[in-house]
Structure 1
Amino acid sequence: MTKSKGKIKLSTWMIIASALGIICGLLFGKSMGNIKFLGDIFLRLMQMSVVFLVMGAITEAIGSLDMHDIGKLGGKTIALFVASTLFASFVGVILSLIIKPGVGVTGVEGAAFTGTLPEGNPLNLLVNFFPKNIVESMSTGSILQIIVFSIFLGLALSMLKGNSSAQAVFGFIKDFNVIIMQIVKIVMNFAPIGIFALVAALTGTSGVNMLMALGKFLIALTVGCIAVLLLMVGIVSAYGRLNPYRLLKKLNNTIIVAITTTSSAVSLPVQMEDSELRIGVSRRVSRLVNPLGMNLNSHGLAITVAVACITVAQFFGIEMNFTNYIMIGVMSTLATFANLAVPGGALVTMAIGFSMTGLPLEGVAIMAGVDWFAGIIRTLLNVVDDVLIAVIVAISENELDRDIFNSDESPKAETAA
């Protein structure tokens, strides 16, 4: 849904739809189950393009990298992205097990889980990450195997940048992604209807218990994001021998824009300006790490997906073991690599995470009502941690200007737009 003056945003419609669904569910009870089919249609439409969406987004992101130019710097950056996002995911898993946001909800057995959670020997699970037939993986919706293939496809296209045939394929993928993204936007326009139907049906069955689960979900997410943010600030400050208070103060513009816009894309120019003109990160590092981080480094989204997966599992009474929790942490990380700049993109990423872990997609509707609130804290962590990773890379490359960092005034320079 395109933003325009005077038009209500999609996120607002989703909040309204969730509120109306809760009210109607409480008023009319189990009879609201009769409209659940509308929500089921919406969930099927969300699943419809997931395979192409994930494959296209990851292939384009990896394929657009210039391996010859970024070399060691790019490898170091991506390694930090993966390690820190994986850490954030497991923070979400641990907090979910402590706070237990979905525990105590009764009356939802009718929507019980019928899928299959990944289980078995960890080494066998690792082997199953890799596809033996990508067409079979696509037909069965094996998202994890599709991600692995997409990474290899993106790497191959990146290495063949001088090959005209490879560039033609890459151009086709980029154009195809535009079409798939448009399909997602069309489907998301029906999100308020689907969310209303699913929330009304769930609330009619579970009553006010669902509201308690949503509140605890937000608490777990907020605590997780704040914990990871403070840990990252502490790590960066210790590694670079920087004043943590000054570091946070230098990030106040980025923090304000992230909170008020809940958009990583809108925050990017401000991130780069804070990185270069206020903290002292070199242009070479800042202009590689920050734009790349917008697509490949989403700590807040990783925590959101991890907490959402365990909340939904608890909500529907799905028993999980240690291996399942490990898989949720890993898959929450992988799901963020297909980070989508579309309205309701976090919900689509959640759907990808649920598909990867075998959890019921009805969970998307449960989370939709509070996604705008979740987006505030999620975006804050996403964008601030991009800058912090840039600082780590700059320190490791001896490209942090400490005079700028220690200065109370930003030097006169061209805006890092």
Structure 2
Amino acid sequence: MNPMKKAWKNPALLIGAAAILGIAFGLVVGPWAANLKFVGDLFIRLIQMAIVPLVMASVIVATGSMTGSGMGRMALRTFRWMIGFSAVAALLGWVISILVRPGAGIDFSGTVDPALEASAQEAQGWQETLLNFVSTNIFEAMSTATMVPIIVFSLLFGVVLNAYIQRSGNRMVLDLFDQIQQVVLTMIRLVMVIAPIGVFCLLGNLSGTVGFAVVVGAVKYLGATLLGVLILLALFVVVTALRTGLSPLRLPGKLGDQTMIAVTTTSSAVTFPTVLRTAVEKLGVSPRVANFTLSVGLTMGSYGAVLNYMIVIMFLAQTGGVQLDPGTIVLGMALAILLNMGTITVPGGFPVVAMFLATSLGLPFAAVGLLIAVDWFAGIFRTFLNVNGDSFVSMLVANASDEIDRDVYEGGAVAASGPVDLGALTARFEKADALD
């Protein structure tokens, strides 16, 4: 195939080109570009209408198909580090967003979708907030896209369904939801075919309405994400060096191969074999620890995603002039962490995740198109931290059980990684790519 034709079939390239053209068009024609808004809104609504069935089916399938994984000391150490670093990533994303204010200057106050007003109501107290997590009518919650009660219902349904399957062996209901999930995902892939048109119209309206602030907002959003990634990377290095006593000066050379693959492919799944080989052969992590921590890290170790999702939440709030109360901020952090842990599985890529977060927290959608347009760059930052963060966690877990070969790390010995069944990790690869 002609390289030029192949390049123009790349969705990320098409969306990027549409974004540039849309911004240029809006800056040239000015307020008239607002006539394109309805096309962009149609694109957003096509994604939005799939959120509720997709989240319900995904959460039910994820919890309904869970099996015992042998919660030993290694598993507990792994989950402790991963959840701890994820919480730090969420908190850091919030702090950076407060300081940098990436959404400031792009004023879309007053454009919140009226259909989401019910989910954007301020709670009168923490008791009412917790009560609202449980809906008395799940169909009403679905009709208003009030996501938290939907998630709670789906989690409970999935847990009970799991127990039913274990007792009876009947997977009919689980298979039904699995098929629903696949159908909705196919529908989203179909919608994404028109993503370049939708992004062009969204950014044409955006730049025509607010002017050059759109470009500034995109740069500030990416800058905030990059700043957070660098701070978290420094934290990983410092914690790992202090806990293991190993020199951090050797890390750049050891992590170079997997870093290059991560930033060029923006895929944790593609990078996984290199990450596994690096952990055993260059970092000195035992194969037992590396196989477990790195496979779990595919879905639970997406620290770059947690950071980025929190910045997305704050960006959308700032563009809409929405003041988030402490309870909503904590809920946003929890959703970002749960997305990372795979407890809430929202496949379909960043546009679906962004719409899920906006819908869950009652945030305006007007600037989502801008985030979609620059997500290829944000994806590089996310994958970079996701991949290398997993390596650091594997070192920390291995050090705790004295399963890290210091001679290998120092370069005085050679270790060989064993074979790994990549086919068994297919589901984790799909989730990891969704987080990237």
Using structure 1 for the length normalisation, give the TM-score. Answer: 0.88
Q: Note closer, same or farther for the CA distance 1:333–1:111 as it changes in structure 2 (3 Å cut).
A: same
Kindly indicate whether residue 287 of structure 2 is the aligned counterpart of residue 283 of structure 1.
yes
- Letter of the aligned partner of 2:142 in structure 1? M
Aligned to 2:260: 256
Unaligned 5+ runs, structure 2: 423-436
Aligned to 1:10: 11
- Letter of the aligned partner of 2:336 in structure 1? S
Aligned to 1:349: 353
Root-mean-square deviation (CA), in Å? 2.8
- Letter of the aligned partner of 1:318 in structure 2? V
Q: Note closer, same or farther for the CA distance 1:209–1:385 as it changes in structure 2 (3 Å cut).
A: same
Equivalent residue in structure 1 for 2:234, among 205, 230, 234: 230
Kindly indicate whether residue 273 of structure 2 is the aligned counterpart of residue 269 of structure 1.
yes
Equivalent residue in structure 2 for 1:142, among 146, 157, 162: 146
- Whole-angstrom distance in 1 between the partners of 2:168 and 2:6: 43
CA contact (8 A) 1:391 1:400 kept: yes
- Letter of the aligned partner of 2:391 in structure 1? V
- Whole-angstrom distance in 2 between the partners of 1:222 and 1:229: 10
Q: Note closer, same or farther for the CA distance 1:113–1:102 as it changes in structure 2 (3 Å cut).
A: farther
- Letter of the aligned partner of 1:102 in structure 2? G
- Letter of the aligned partner of 1:26 in structure 2? L
- Whole-angstrom distance in 2 between the partners of 1:269 and 1:256: 13
Aligned to 2:427: none
Q: Note closer, same or farther for the CA distance 1:407–1:117 as it changes in structure 2 (3 Å cut).
A: farther
Per-residue deviation, residues 125-146 of structure 1 (Å, max 9, x unmatched)? 3443345554444343232233
CA contact (8 A) 1:92 1:307 kept: yes
Aligned to 2:187: 183
CA offset at residue 375 of structure 1? 1.1
CA offset at residue 52 of structure 1? 2.8
Segment drifting more, 204-213 vs 272-281? 272-281
Segment drifting more, 246-255 vs 38-47? 246-255
Structure 1 residues 104-115: aligned runs within 5 Å: 104-106=105-107, 108-109=108-109, 111=111, 115=117
CA offset at residue 329 of structure 1? 2.2
Q: Note closer, same or farther for the CA distance 1:202–1:139 as it changes in structure 2 (3 Å cut).
A: same
Segment drifting more, 153-162 vs 132-141? 153-162
When the two structures are aligned, how many residues end up with a matched partner?
A: 412
Kindly indicate whether residue 337 of structure 2 is the aligned counterpart of residue 333 of structure 1.
yes
CA offset at residue 295 of structure 1? 2.2
Aligned to 1:22: 23
- Letter of the aligned partner of 2:220 in structure 1? K
- Letter of the aligned partner of 2:28 in structure 1? L
Kindly indicate whether residue 309 of structure 2 is the aligned counterpart of residue 305 of structure 1.
yes
Kindly indicate whether residue 322 of structure 2 is the aligned counterpart of residue 318 of structure 1.
yes
- Whole-angstrom distance in 2 between the partners of 1:173 and 1:276: 39
Q: Note closer, same or farther for the CA distance 1:332–1:414 as it changes in structure 2 (3 Å cut).
A: closer
Equivalent residue in structure 2 for 1:216, among 212, 215, 220: 220
CA offset at residue 51 of structure 1? 2.1
CA offset at residue 398 of structure 1? 3.5
Kindly indicate whether residue 398 of structure 2 is the aligned counterpart of residue 401 of structure 1.
no
- Letter of the aligned partner of 1:36 in structure 2? K
- Whole-angstrom distance in 2 between the partners of 1:133 and 1:392: 45
- Whole-angstrom distance in 2 between the partners of 1:390 and 1:134: 41
Aligned to 1:90: 91
- Whole-angstrom distance in 2 between the partners of 1:175 and 1:72: 36
CA contact (8 A) 1:335 1:353 kept: no
- Whole-angstrom distance in 2 between the partners of 1:161 and 1:285: 31
CA contact (8 A) 2:350 2:372 kept: no
Unaligned 5+ runs, structure 1: none
Aligned to 2:396: 392
Segment drifting more, 79-88 vs 108-117? 108-117
CA contact (8 A) 2:206 2:367 kept: no
CA offset at residue 387 of structure 1? 2.2
- Whole-angstrom distance in 2 between the partners of 1:59 and 1:284: 31
CA offset at residue 405 of structure 1? 2.4
Aligned to 2:376: 372
CA contact (8 A) 2:27 2:211 kept: yes
- Whole-angstrom distance in 2 between the partners of 1:156 and 1:403: 49
Q: Secondary structure of the equivalent of 1:242?
A: coil
Q: Note closer, same or farther for the CA distance 1:202–1:6 as it changes in structure 2 (3 Å cut).
A: closer
- Whole-angstrom distance in 2 between the partners of 1:366 and 1:349: 14
Q: Note closer, same or farther for the CA distance 1:409–1:262 as it changes in structure 2 (3 Å cut).
A: farther
- Whole-angstrom distance in 1 between the partners of 2:313 and 2:212: 20
CA offset at residue 359 of structure 1? 0.5
- Whole-angstrom distance in 2 between the partners of 1:412 and 1:144: 46
Segment drifting more, 37-46 vs 245-254? 245-254
Q: Note closer, same or farther for the CA distance 1:26–1:146 as it changes in structure 2 (3 Å cut).
A: same
Q: Secondary structure of the equivalent of 1:91?
A: helix
- Letter of the aligned partner of 1:55 in structure 2? M
- Whole-angstrom distance in 1 between the partners of 2:192 and 2:53: 16
CA offset at residue 152 of structure 1? 4.2
Q: Secondary structure of the equivalent of 2:367?
A: helix
CA offset at residue 227 of structure 1? 0.6
CA contact (8 A) 1:112 1:317 kept: no
CA offset at residue 8 of structure 1? 2.4
Q: Note closer, same or farther for the CA distance 1:380–1:68 as it changes in structure 2 (3 Å cut).
A: closer
CA contact (8 A) 1:296 1:339 kept: no
CA offset at residue 83 of structure 1? 2.9
CA contact (8 A) 1:240 1:392 kept: yes
- Whole-angstrom distance in 1 between the partners of 2:280 and 2:389: 15
- Whole-angstrom distance in 1 between the partners of 2:141 and 2:82: 26
- Whole-angstrom distance in 2 between the partners of 1:70 and 1:136: 38
Aligned to 2:50: 49
Aligned to 2:126: 122
Q: Secondary structure of the equivalent of 2:333?
A: helix
Kindly indicate whether residue 224 of structure 2 is the aligned counterpart of residue 196 of structure 1.
no
- Whole-angstrom distance in 1 between the partners of 2:226 and 2:39: 32
Identity of aligned residues (%): 30
Aligned to 2:67: 66
- Whole-angstrom distance in 2 between the partners of 1:77 and 1:161: 28
- Whole-angstrom distance in 2 between the partners of 1:197 and 1:123: 42
